């Protein structure tokens, strides 16, 4: 295991290049099962969640050929297994996309219920199951929490999602792409990664319209062919570095972005008094003082992303005045607050609301990443705190941030990755 050691107080100056979008890649990689041709996927982020999805593909019989660190060729013609065991699905929630993909290609899938970040309570999949059943498949939950979905022929259907769900929208798209007839998903999620998946599938010959709106129409096609496709830049990685620059101070050009995807984050930073300048494919953040307080309510896209909530909380914890965060997507996504209070933040959490009393400074302390985005928030806190901050459970951060240490060091952060060694045996803790 490793930890990140951060000596805070440096302002940040320079350019950070954003990688491909994790949550688009996690949908597009399983989608490659839907064709017997080769799919060449470019700008894929080099992160552990994607590596696990590659491993699952290989276990199912596909060939996954790395071309370089961010390009892969997937050939699914020899996929002959339809079971994904808990041993693999426990690592990440997105493993359940293999249900929609295997169902869409073969009419059968046995995938263990997924793991993934814990935001309090169970992360249900009832809307996924509702979609699969409306498409004509029979879904049962077997022992060992295996979701077993079978169908002789998927038939297009009207599906109204009870709740806006990124995962259910994606899983239904994967299953419906080759179904017979028209599928209409209403109350669909509108995130950039939904649009990216639709564009990928359409590049393979699918007929999907309306992605990015709350009504997606999918005219099923019998075959899909291979393609070459480049994944969109990561909205949340970009937002994370925007907030890091705003909190640490300095001037940082965030490069390889789609500014439109970042509008809600930009608007909040401007509200906090941060200078933001947009260019075609980059955003310049300039900040030299304490941000102003502001209120945040997380919402499905195009609202402020829940995956940016821990990060903006760090900025608000050193803002002038009192800020309120309403987390409307997840039941309990404030576990990181305890770690922040160890650094001197003044935050009170009541259910899905956090009241943040801005303080002048945070102080370095040993903290840990409770989940992926909470881990990124601890890094930002370390950048702005006085003294040294050590962040443990870096494995969570590696799930979604390619080379976070290298990217931050390139703009002047004093951050390094060091192995954790057992004090008695001096052996690295695995
Ligand atoms: C995706 O999770 C993302 N993960 C999450 O990002 C993100 O927080 C979330 O969307 C919201 O944007 C990936 O894309 C891999 P949902 P997902 O289904 O699909 C409820 C990160 O940090 N719901 O949109 O699991 C659910 O409980 C990760 O990159 C049902 O009730 O989220 C939640 O309250 C963390 N029934 C709400 O909908 C269902 O069948 C939104 O969940 C499905 C969801």
**Of 225, 257, 288, which residue is a domain's last?**
225
b/e per residue 308-318 (b: at least 16 CB within 10 A): bbbbbbbbbbb
DSSP letter string over 75-114?
E-TT----EE-HHHHTT-GGGGHHHHHHHHHHSEEEEEPP
**Residue 117 annotated in active site:** yes
Q: Is residue 407 lining ligand 1, measured as CB closer than 6 Å?
A: no
Same domain, 213 and 102: yes
Same domain, 99 and 201: yes
Q: Is the pLDDT of residue 120 over 90?
A: no
Q: With helix as H, strand as E and coil as C, how does 266-311 read? A: HHHHHHCCCEEEECCCEEEEEECCCCECCCEEECCCCCECHHHHHH
Using the 8-state DSSP alphabet, how is residue 400 labeled? T
Please state the rounded mean pLDDT for residues 34-59.
97
Longest dimension (CA), the chain: 65
SS3 229: strand
Pairwise CA distance, residues 333 & 321, whole Å: 23
Name the strand (E) or helix (H) holding 388. strand 388-392
Q: How far is the CA of 208 from the centre of ligand 1 (A)?
A: 22
Which pLDDT band, with edges at 50, 70 and 90, does 298 fall under? very high
Q: Which domain holds residue 294?
A: 2-19+233-419
Q: How far is the CA of 354 from the centre of ligand 1 (A)?
A: 20
Q: Is residue 114 lining ligand 1, measured as CB closer than 6 Å?
A: no
Token pair of 267 as six digits? 């608007």
Q: How far is the CA of 300 from the centre of ligand 1 (A)?
A: 10
Same domain, 53 and 124: yes
Same domain, 411 and 276: yes
Q: Is residue 27 lining ligand 1, measured as CB closer than 6 Å?
A: no
Q: Is the residue at 188 inside a domain?
A: yes
Q: Is the pLDDT of residue 212 over 70?
A: yes
Q: Which atom of ligand 1 is nearest to the CA of 92?
A: 15
Cβ pair 216, 50 in contact under 8 A: no
Q: Is the pLDDT of residue 407 over 90?
A: yes
Q: Is the residue at 321 inside a domain?
A: yes
Q: Is the residue at 73 inside a domain?
A: yes
Q: Which atom of ligand 1 is nearest to the CA of 26?
A: 15
Q: Is the residue at 428 inside a domain?
A: no
For a substitution probing ligand 1, which of 23, 122, 164, 165 has the most ligand atoms within 8 Å of its CB? 165
Q: Is residue 23 lining ligand 1, measured as CB closer than 6 Å?
A: yes
Give the other-Cβ count within 10 Å of 414's Cβ: 15
Q: How far is the CA of 166 from the centre of ligand 1 (A)?
A: 6
Q: Is residue 415 lining ligand 1, measured as CB closer than 6 Å?
A: no
Q: Is residue 53 lining ligand 1, measured as CB closer than 6 Å?
A: no
Q: Which residues contact 137 (CB under 8 A, 6 or more apart)?
A: 103, 107, 149, 150, 151, 154, 175
Q: Is residue 3 lining ligand 1, measured as CB closer than 6 Å?
A: no
* Sign, Cα dihedral of 34, 37, 42, 46: positive
Q: Is the residue at 430 inside a domain?
A: no
- The pLDDT tens digits for 60-96 are 999 999 999 999 999 999 999 999 999 999 889 999 9
Same domain, 15 and 114: no
CA nearest to 413, candidates 7, 1, 67: 7
Same domain, 72 and 187: yes
Residue of minimum CA distance from atom 43 in ligand 1: 125
Same domain, 148 and 33: yes
| Exposure of 47 in the CB half-sphere (CA atoms within 13 A) | 30
Q: Is the pLDDT of residue 190 over 90?
A: yes
Of the ranges 139-143, 296-300, 328-332, 420-424, which one carries the lowest mean pLDDT score? 420-424
Same domain, 172 and 308: no
Same domain, 265 and 372: yes
SS3 420: coil
- In this prediction, what percent of the chain has a pLDDT beyond 90? 91
Q: How far is the CA of 39 from the centre of ligand 1 (A)?
A: 27
Q: How many folded domains does the chain comprise?
A: 2
Same domain, 284 and 163: no
Average pLDDT, the chain: 96
**Of 225, 250, 273, which residue is a domain's last?**
225
- The pLDDT tens digits for 237-257 are 999 999 999 999 999 999 999
Same domain, 385 and 410: yes
Q: Is the residue at 425 inside a domain?
A: no
CATH code for the domain of 388: 3.65.10.10
Task: Measure the CA angle with vertex 100, ends 95 and 104; round to 5°.
Answer: 140
Residue from 36, 39, 117, 272 carrying the catalytic annotation: 117
Q: Is residue 178 lining ligand 1, measured as CB closer than 6 Å?
A: no
Q: Is the pLDDT of residue 116 over 80?
A: no
Q: Which residues contact 417 (CB under 8 A, 6 or more apart)?
A: 2, 3, 4, 5, 394, 405
Q: Is the residue at 332 inside a domain?
A: yes
Residue of minimum CA distance from atom 39 in ligand 1: 125
Higher-confidence residue of 289 and 136: namely: 136
**Of 175, 196, 225, which residue is a domain's last?**
225
Strand arrangement, sheet containing 353-357: 296-298, 322-327, 353-357, 346-350
Same domain, 154 and 289: no
Q: Is the residue at 291 inside a domain?
A: yes
- The pLDDT tens digits for 129-142 are 999 999 999 999 99
Q: Which atom of ligand 1 is nearest to the CA of 191?
A: 12
Cβ pair 247, 380 in contact under 8 A: yes
């Amino acid at each position: 295991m490793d930890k990140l050691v951060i000596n805070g107080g440096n302002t940040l100056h320079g350019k950070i290049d954003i990688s491909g979008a994790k949550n688009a890649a996690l949908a597009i990689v399983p989608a490659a099962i839907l064709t017997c041709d080769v799919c060449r996927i470019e700008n894929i982020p080099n992160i552990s969640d994607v590596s696990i999805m590659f491993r699952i593909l290989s276990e199912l019989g596909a060939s996954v050929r790395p071309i370089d660190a961010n390009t892969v060729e997937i050939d699914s013609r020899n996929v002959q297994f339809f079971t994904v065991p808990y041993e693999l699905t426990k690592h990440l929630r997105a493993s359940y996309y293999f249900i929609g993909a295997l169902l869409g290609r073969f009419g059968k899938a046995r995938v263990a219920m997924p793991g993934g970040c814990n935001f309090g309570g169970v992360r249900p999949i009832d809307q996924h199951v509702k979609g699969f059943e409306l498409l004509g498949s029979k879904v049962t939950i077997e022992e060992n929490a295996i979701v077993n979905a079978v169908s002789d022929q998927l038939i297009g259907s009207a599906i109204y999602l009870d709740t806006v769900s990124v995962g259910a929208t994606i899983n239904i798209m994967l299953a419906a792409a080759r179904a017979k007839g028209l599928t209409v998903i209403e109350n669909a999620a509108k995130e950039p990664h939904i649009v990216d998946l639709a564009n990928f599938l359409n590049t393979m010959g699918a007929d999907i319209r309306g992605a990015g709106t709350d009504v997606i129409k999918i005219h099923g096609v019998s075959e899909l062919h291979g393609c070459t496709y480049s994944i969109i830049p990561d909205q949340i990685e970009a937002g994370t570095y925007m907030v890091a620059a705003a909190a640490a101070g300095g001037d940082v050009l965030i490069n390889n972005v789609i500014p439109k995807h970042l509008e809600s984050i930009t608007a909040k930073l401007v509200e906090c008094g941060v200078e933001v300048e947009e260019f075609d494919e980059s955003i310049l953040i300039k900040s030299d003082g304490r941000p102003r307080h502001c209120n945040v309510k997380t919402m499905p896209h195009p609202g402020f992303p829940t995956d940016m909530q821990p990060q903006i909380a760090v900025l608000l914890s050193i803002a002038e005045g009192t800020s309120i965060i309403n987390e409307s997507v997840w039941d309990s996504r404030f576990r990181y607050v305890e770690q922040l209070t160890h650094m001197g933040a003044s935050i009170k959490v009541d259910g899905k609301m956090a009241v943040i009393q801005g303080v002048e400074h945070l102080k370095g302390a040993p903290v840990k990443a409770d989940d992926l985005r909470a881990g990124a928030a601890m890094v930002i806190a370390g950048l702005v705190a006085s003294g040294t901050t050590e962040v443990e459970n870096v494995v969570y951060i590696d799930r979604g941030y390619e080379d976070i240490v290298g990217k931050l060091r390139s703009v002047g952060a004093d951050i390094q990755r060091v192995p954790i060694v057992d004090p008695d045996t001096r052996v690295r803790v695995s």
